[in-house]
Amino acid sequence: MKESYRNMWEEALANPALRGIKSTEKKYFNRIEITKNYFPESDSSCYTFSVRNELFGDDRLKEKLIEELCRILNGFMQKYRIDKNSPILVAGLGNEHITADSLGGAVIDKLYVTSHLYSEKSVFERFGNLSGIKCGVSGTTGIASFDILSGVAERIRPSLIIAVDALACSSVSRLGKTIQISDAGIEPGGGVANPKPKLDRNSLGVPVIAVGVPLVVYAKKILAEYVSDNAAAVNADEILSSLVVTAKEIDFQVADFSYVIAESLNRTVHGGRS
């Protein structure tokens, strides 16, 4: 169970290169706060989208999130000189058999993939070059995500890899209320002291953008947040260390966030023509 969940870079504890934040910027929209952290040592940025309301049933909020995600994704595309016809691979991480960890696979299901048809002129002229793969977890496949992605990348030679995953958060207030996107890559298992090979430009040979949503929180984090006097005892409790909590609306959250992320990727890669 533990290896199914990951932390990204909001705490930056697992990656020393991301500990020094040079600058932080915040922008506010209607019910959305966007925070940008820049890490000079790795020349990478992390954007955190915090929403004040549930996405379920709020099409206007979803549309605004999609617009802003497209803006950030386009910025990364320009940074790495990704043009309209550059091959882009989206990797869905996580375990589809666990709802709270199924975000990556759900995004892949909603992508408008075109790479298999890209030799046709009608596709080449109208759409971007997009492919997707579900990596699963080593507990079910026996293969680490890095090994799967490195093999696929060597074969199809993408110009950019976008890894999508569910995250573990440090505060219950972020549960199902945040989207993070970073070009620092991602370290599967890093947030649960069970790190796997990191997925980034150095290890895979191409830029890696990580997109994640915190959909689980450890029980000890919740208790430590509300019982500060006994926080040390809570964090040391071995039983609590193995317990994770998710929202009762997790099915809707996965559906809504996977739609927002997939639609953002489709519009960015295909220029709004999906």
Question: 125: how many CB neighbours lie within 10 A of its CB?
Answer: 9
The pair phi, psi for residue 206, each rounded to 5°, is: -140, 155
DSSP letters spanning 113-133: --GGGTTSHHHHHHS-EEEEE
Angle value at C-alpha 72, between 122 and 252, nearest 5 degrees: 85
What's the pLDDT at 22?
A: 54
Residue 125 has pLDDT above 60, yes or no: yes
Model pTM? 0.86
Q: Which domains does the chain have, with CATH numbers?
A: 2-215+249-266 (3.40.50.1450)
pLDDT at 4 over 70: no
pLDDT score of 17: 46
Task: Give whole-number Cα distances, 69 to 108, 135, 160, 180, 194, in Å.
Answer: 17, 23, 17, 10, 30
pLDDT, average across residues 78-96 = 94
Instruction: Provide the percentage of residues in the chain whose pLDDT is more than 70.
Output: 79
Whether 34 and 179 have beta carbons less than 8 Å apart is answered as: no
Phi, psi of 200 (to 5 degrees): -155, -175
Would you state the pLDDT for residue 151?
94
Q: pLDDT per residue over 29-39, tens digit each?
A: 667 888 888 88
Sign of the dihedral defined by the CA atoms of residues 133, 138, 143, 149, in that order? positive
Model pLDDT for residues 203-255, shown as the tens digit of each residue:
999 999 999 999 998 887 777 777 766 656 666 666 666 788 899 999 999 99
* Residue 201 clears pLDDT 60, i.e. is over it: yes
Mean pLDDT, residues 26-54 taken together:
83
Question: How far apart are alpha carbons 66 and 61 in whole angstroms?
Answer: 9
Mean pLDDT of the chain: 83
Residues contacting 259, CB < 8 A, separation 6+ = 62, 110
The structure tokens listed for 59 are: 């099409």
Name the band, by pLDDT with cuts 50, 70 and 90, for residue 188: low
Listing DSSP states for the chain in one string gives -GGG-B--SSS--S-GGGS---EEEEEEETTEEEEEEEETTTTEEEEEEEESS--TT-HHHHHHHHHHHHHHHHHHHHHTT--TTSEEEEEEES-TTSGGG-HHHHHHHT----GGGTTSHHHHHHS-EEEEEEEE-HHHHSS-HHHHHHHHHHHH--SEEEEEEEEEESSGGGTTTEEEEESS-B-TTGGGT-----BSHHHHSS-EEEEEEEEEEEHHHHHHHH-GGGHHHHHH-HHHHT-EE--TTHHHHHHHHHHHHHHHHHHHHHTT--
Q: Is the pLDDT of residue 116 over 70?
A: yes
Across 16-30, 113-127, 145-159, 216-230, least confident range: 16-30
